[in-house]
């Protein structure tokens, strides 16, 4: 092919930088409607799943993919056993966590899980993240890891391993709601990464480690902590309006507002706002945050009338995770604990297709003579 002909072919091929609006997979797992502000997970609207347990949502996501179907009760038992296995696998690796950030430590521990592990891969992947996250958090404080209790529910045991004490039911319920809310969300960057790796038949753990690496990036999984930083910087109720006005005047982004997909209010924000409202809060933090949200929305509509900027999931994620006891630097790991449900389901779904994901690129360099 001549240089001119090759250039013509490349020019004629449609391009979509960022893959915006490109359909790269068919899935039964979730659907995101950014215009309507709707999230459907395995055939159910998120609002209808808000009262479900994490185990119940796992049963929905995995129902077409496991060798033997499991209901929520069976998944609870299997997760309990798998948490114990993950704890045993983790023990000799803890000294290697020194100097790593929480998400880097989680990446190291997940990488140690063999792709040929005997336990059902999806179950072990989901069970491992709370065990590893709790141990990483405690290790950073010089505290020994707390062994899992297989008789407890997944969220309940997550908090018990973190704090070495029984958590109040409202906190367990709030964490469960959070894990459900972030369990799956279309073909986001981390899920797409996991599916690409799965398409090579690399294996479950290789795929979800890739998903975690994508989630690590600040444009994907790193926003909840800065919401709390913003609330801390505002400090007091009388400072809300001047602080927000000055931030907008400087062209700064208000953390917890706006979304790449949603052009109306993020439905996950409403679900988590309900979870936050159910928490017992004697500090006044939640009420303060609600006033910040209301004032921020008013100012954004006033100053950016042509750009829809509504509350997103990160705003109330920050409040939920802070209230139940997670330090800010662990928020991405807790996000991974919930999203692991979707990653594993997408890996299993992709493996069923047997199709290697191999898109084309457009060459814009110099052509040889």
Active site positions, annotated: 259, 314
Helix (H) or strand (E) holding 32: strand 30-33
Strands 38-41 and 44-45: antiparallel
CB 119 within 8 A of CB 130: no
What is the per-residue DSSP string for 52-65? S-HHHHHHHHHTTT
Show the tokens assigned to 269: 């924000």
What CA–CA distance (Å, rounded) separates 211 from 347? 10
Angle made by CA atoms 99, 220, 251, in degrees to the nearest 5: 105
Among the listed residues 116, 19, 27, 21, the one whose alpha carbon sits nearest the alpha carbon of residue 343: 27
Q: Is 188 helix (H, G, I), strand (E, B) or coil?
A: coil
Closest CA to 345 of 128, 59, 80: 59
Q: How far is the C-alpha of 249 from the C-alpha of 141, rounded, in Å? A: 40
Residue given tokens 């979707």 in the structure block: 342
Q: How far apart are CA 120 and CA 346, in angstroms?
A: 15
Phi/psi for 238 (5° steps) reads: -70, -15
Which of 91, 89, 112, 109 has the alpha carbon at shortest distance from 100? 109
Say if CB 367 and CB 210 are below 8 A apart.
Answer: no
Nearest to 275 by CA among 332, 323, 212: 323
String of DSSP letters for 207-222: HHHHHHHHHHSTTTT-
């Amino acid at each position: 092919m001549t240089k001119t002909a090759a250039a013509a072919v490349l020019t004629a091929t449609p391009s979509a930088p960022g893959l915006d609006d490109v359909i790269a997979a068919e899935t039964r797992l979730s659907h995101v409607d950014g215009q309507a502000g709707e999230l459907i997970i395995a055939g159910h609207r998120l609002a209808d799943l808000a009262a479900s347990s994490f185990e119940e949502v796992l049963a929905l996501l995995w129902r077409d993919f496991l060798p033997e179907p499991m209901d929520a009760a069976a998944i609870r038992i299997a997760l309990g056993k798998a948490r114990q296995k993950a704890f045993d696998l983790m023990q000799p690796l803890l000294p290697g966590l020194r100097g790593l950030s929480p998400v880097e430590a989680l990446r190291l521990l997940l990488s140690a899980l063999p792709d040929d592990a005997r336990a059902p891969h999806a179950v072990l992947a989901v069970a491992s993240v709370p065990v590893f996250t709790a141990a990483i958090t405690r290790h950073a404080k010089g505290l020994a890891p707390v062994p899992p209790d297989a008789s407890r529910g997944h969220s309940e045991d997550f908090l018990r391993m973190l704090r070495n004490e029984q958590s109040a039911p409202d906190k367990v319920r709030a964490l469960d709601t959070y894990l459900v809310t972030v369990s799956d969300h279309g073909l986001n960057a981390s899920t797409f990464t996991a599916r690409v790796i799965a398409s090579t038949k690399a294996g479950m753990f290789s795929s979800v480690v890739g998903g975690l690496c994508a989630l690590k990036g600040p444009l994907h999984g790193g926003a909840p902590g800065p919401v709390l930083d913003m609330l801390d910087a505002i400090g007091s109720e009388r400072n809300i309006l001047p602080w927000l006005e000055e931030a907008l005047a400087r062209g700064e982004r208000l953390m917890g507002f706006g979304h790449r997909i949603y052009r109306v209010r993020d439905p996950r924000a409403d679900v988590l706002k309900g979870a936050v409202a159910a928490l017992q809060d004697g500090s006044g933090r939640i009420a303060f945050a609600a006033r910040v949200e209301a004032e921020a929305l008013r100012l954004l509509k006033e100053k950016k009338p042509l750009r829809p900027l509504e509350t997103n999931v990160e705003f109330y994620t920050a409040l939920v995770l802070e209230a139940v006891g997670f330090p800010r630097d662990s928020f991405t790991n807790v996000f991974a604990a919930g999203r692991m449900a979707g990653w594993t389901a997408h890996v299993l779904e992709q493996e069923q297709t047997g199709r290697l994901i191999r898109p084309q690129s457009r060459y814009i360099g110099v052509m040889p003579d």
